[in-house]
Structure 1
Amino acid sequence: MMQRVALKMKLHAGQAEEYKRRHDELWPEMKELLKGIGVEDYAIFLDEETNILFASLKIDDPALLDTLPQHPTTKRWWAYMADIMDANPDNSPVSVPLSEVFYLP
């Protein structure tokens, strides 16, 4: 059964257009990696007032998301994105998991 996962990240001010451009040109190998672990219905929204990014996705086994940091493609993507968003020392985006409080199927 698909499970919903949501998180928030922070974009640097003035980087919304660049963030969108980079995702419009998402590398095929990144798409394959995400699809390969079962990610579906992945969307990212921007609150332009706060520069907070809200991401949501569906996946059968959320534990598979924990395999992404070890993948070279993920590491390259993080390095590519680190200049336009809050990032940890390893270039991974600073992200906060969100708890679901309501769902209307």
Structure 2
Amino acid sequence: MQRLAFKMYLNEGQKAEYKKRHNEIWPELKQLLKDAGVSEYSIFLDEETNILFAFQKVSGKGGSQDLGQTEIVQKWWAFMKDVMKTNPDNSPVSVQLEEVFYME
């Protein structure tokens, strides 16, 4: 099991909409994540900076960031592009984070 973390950037004033959309996550997207080995996925918001911190536990080689070629993820990105900073292909601007401490 590997632990992955990354940050993304929420647009100003979009906290409620971001939460709403994730509370109503599409069942087929949730299933795709589970099928890809994502067993835990949390996203936290730093309201001072609008930085989203994401954490995943993943069995396998990659996490959600490796599913961008799938149709459902591309639709999700298009759906989310108005509430967060995105790249030209609608993927969220994200930065992988290095784990520097872990305690069991």
Query: How much does 1:63 deviate?
Result: 3.1
Secondary structure at the counterpart of residue 43 of structure 1: strand
Which residue number in structure 2 is paired with residue 62 of structure 1? 61
Which residue number in structure 2 is paired with residue 36 of structure 1? 35
**Aligned-residue RMSD, C-alpha:** 1.2
2: CA distance between counterparts of 1:34 and 1:49? 29
Structure 1: where are the runs of 5+ without partners? none
Secondary structure at the counterpart of residue 49 of structure 1: coil
8 Å contact kept, 1:5–1:62: no
Query: How much does 1:66 deviate?
Result: 5.7
Which residue number in structure 2 is paired with residue 86 of structure 1? 85
1: CA distance between counterparts of 2:63 and 2:15? 29
Structure 2: where are the runs of 5+ without partners? none
8 Å contact kept, 1:7–1:97: yes
Point out the structure with the larger helix share.
Answer: 1
Which residue number in structure 2 is paired with residue 74 of structure 1? 73
**Percentage identity across paired residues of the two chains:** 58
Q: Give me the TM-score of the superposition, normalised by structure 1.
A: 0.94
Query: How much does 1:60 deviate?
Result: 1.5
Aligned residues: 104
